[in-house]
Structure 1
């Protein structure tokens, strides 16, 4: 019976000690995305195996990890809570909260003023109550809205040793519980609009930077403190965040109808979201985001404009 040369055996065993993570880092194809997309993601992930420093991936939430039709979860959760707790009461607190709801309905829902109104409404509640509001709305109306393709992508990132972060313009406490429980991302890596907590209750004092537009890039630098290797978003609001990536940039269901114009468009001025990312080497990906009108949406009762639906194209054209 042949006997291993002791020197060769030692080298072999040392190889197992030094490279165990490399042996485990095997890409699993993402069902629902085409071969070219899978190949590009796999090649990128394999290129990161040799990196010994923090490997960070950052994701937007609404429209990127989670479907946003017919309405944003943050808005539906707030409107539903208002309907149950305040809408039919005459006390001063209820009147004040419904006044905020009426302001929300008249304010641009991507403006900083709107983000402040959300926090104004939640002020006075405990963090636990706010987490429950978001978690309850998710389970009632949105639990089937997490894109299966993104679940598979997150599993691949975990296998390759990435830190996964979520960066959203929705209230942080409203999203942390259900995102953590359903995607396995630690709560301290689920970042949204933050507000000061004092004496156990949330206040209306927002903590900057606000993760919207340029604020998302600033939030990466302020809270995450590392340049991400991968960033994934879906809209104009994710532009600056995605440009923080030093590696792969993924764009989910990009709009190809509305041409962004003016100062608010930034570098995207004159282009649709899809056109811009095709020009800037973004990887265009599609997921089904179809509204389920079997649910009763309070936002519909309040005549809130529906978000655009997205059906995965049978033939993807760039």
Structure 2
């Protein structure tokens, strides 16, 4: 069993046909190529934003994650908690510099066009990501998605300072839970690129795996979800 691959024309035509009132987008790998969450972590280490102690702790945890000893949920939360004690204004400035220099060139123009077309017809657009809110809120500004339509990994801010109190980490079933808390129970269209988006894709009236990982391609074949690859990442 193999997944059906959509051309750009068929992808856009399908979205137009279902005329979604609510559409939900994962971000890393879906709106742009690459993982902005781990890339931001590396960038903040390279630029000296994180202390040596924090870097050593996070490196150990990340190695544990890659070895399967630390869960996706845990590492995504810890990649936000690690910035505790830093002013939020500093984090937002860092996210702005990071996104403009490292991620913005990787935005998929096809997805930018899809979102612009949906917004023009009044679709309510949501962004859901396990990457920190500073990077995601900065990134989706390029798509005219406001911060009040972003569900992302975040911690509490007290007196303008980042704390280690986790408020949300939307990944796997947690993405569905975050959407439900926002009142989104059955979105008309959901777009995602990995198995960590599968639970969210499954609640959609129409699921759109975009730039899917091998594991999500397998899941898509089983579920009958057609997959789409933007031109810059389309397999030969």
Aligned positions of 1:184-223 closer than 5 A: 184-208=144-168, 210-223=169-182
TM-score (norm 1): 0.66
Aligned positions of 1:119-158 closer than 5 A: 119-158=80-119
Match of 1:167 in 2: 128
Unmatched runs of 5 consecutive residues or more in structure 1: 1-31, 49-54, 88-93, 257-271, 290-310
Structure 1 residue 187: deviation in Å? 1.1
Seen in structure 2, the aligned counterparts of structure 1 residues 122 and 86 have a Cα distance that, compared at 3 Å, is: closer
Distance 1:59 1:35 in 2: 19
Structure 1 residue 288: deviation in Å? 4.2
Unmatched runs of 5 consecutive residues or more in structure 2: 1-5
Q: Secondary structure, in 3 states, of the residue corresponding to 2:190? A: strand
Distance 2:24 2:163 in 1: 27
Q: Secondary structure, in 3 states, of the residue corresponding to 1:58? A: strand
- 148-157 vs 77-86, which moves further: 77-86
Q: Secondary structure, in 3 states, of the residue corresponding to 2:111? A: helix
Match of 2:223 in 1: 280
Structure 1 residue 250: deviation in Å? 0.4
Match of 1:17 in 2: none
- Provide Cα deviations, 1:50-103, integer angstroms capped at 9, x if missing partner: xxxxx21110000000111xxx2222222222232267xxxxxx3322223322
Distance 1:232 1:123 in 2: 31
Q: Is the 8 A contact 2:27 2:128 kept in 1?
A: yes
Q: Secondary structure, in 3 states, of the residue corresponding to 2:209? A: strand
Match of 1:312 in 2: 234
TM-score (norm 2): 0.87
Structure 1 runs (4+) deviating above 4 angstroms are none
- Which of 201, 204, 208 pairs up with 1:250? 208
Match of 2:190 in 1: 231
Aligned positions of 1:41-190 closer than 5 A: 41-45=15-19, 55-68=21-34, 72-85=35-48, 94-108=51-65, 111-180=72-141, 182-190=142-150
Q: Secondary structure, in 3 states, of the residue corresponding to 2:76? A: helix
Q: Is the 8 A contact 2:24 2:190 kept in 1?
A: yes
Distance 1:174 1:113 in 2: 19
Structure 1 residue 189: deviation in Å? 0.9
Match of 1:261 in 2: none
Distance 1:175 1:126 in 2: 18
Q: Is the 8 A contact 2:77 2:166 kept in 1?
A: yes
Q: CA RMSD in A?
A: 2.2
Q: Is the 8 A contact 1:56 1:163 kept in 2?
A: yes
Distance 2:183 2:137 in 1: 16
Q: Between Structure 1 and Structure 2, which shows a larger proportion of strand residues?
A: 2
Q: Is the 8 A contact 2:211 2:229 kept in 1?
A: yes
